[in-house]
Structure 1
């Protein structure tokens, strides 16, 4: 299990340590929202992020409450907010920032993902 506290983590290599890119970072707004969501469901231990094939561009994010970390889930813990990333989503989310944005009409998590090559017109799906 690897825990990520900030934007980078240290990985033990052959004879020396090297920094690697974080799987995912959270903005303060996302941290606060994740904490509130986890407090609302007493059984959940983390939010689990995945991707599935759906929408015009091919892929969409999934967010679910999770009670148990699976063997290959990547754990991201930042300021008390815990996220587990599904193994199938790890490479596509690498280096992404998760934010929580509220407006008069909506409240949603937004992913700023440098790996995305295109999105659909409504912004619900993406392609890599």
Structure 2
């Protein structure tokens, strides 16, 4: 599993984990949604389930469900601020297209 987390995204995720010491890690994956098919999910995970893989990226525990693994392989996770907005940004080598608003992506 090859996922890269930029230092600023790593810091942001660690900030969320520090506020929830009982969390098992950061859940990262995709869900079916949007006009293009898939959207990213980043949330705190309370547990690691049977259908999950736990990987450590630069000391940060990431929990990825088995159905997302192939879709997030090689992803670079960044965190950017633009004016009053702040969000995680994903650079996915598997994505072959995205919707106009950038909220969802497709794979071939």
Normalising by structure 2, report the TM-score: 0.90
Runs of 5+ consecutive residues of structure 1 not aligned to the other structure:
1-21
Measured against aligned partners, the alpha-carbon deviations of 1:63-110 in whole angstroms (never above 9, x if no partner) come to 221121123422232333221111111001111111111121311111
Aligned length: 107
Which of residues 77, 86, 101 is equivalent to 1:122? 101
1:42 aligns with 2:21: yes
- Tell me how large the CA RMSD over aligned residues is: 1.3
Measured against aligned partners, the alpha-carbon deviations of 1:11-52 in whole angstroms (never above 9, x if no partner) come to xxxxxxxxxxx3311110111011001011122121111211
Once the two structures are superposed, the pairs formed by residues 1-128 of structure 1 within 5 Å of their partners are 22-128=1-107
Following the alignment from structure 2 to structure 1, what is the Cα–Cα distance between the partners of residues 68 and 2? Answer: 10
Runs of 5+ consecutive residues of structure 2 not aligned to the other structure:
none
Deviates more, 1:70-79 or 1:112-121: 70-79
Structure holding more strand per residue: 2
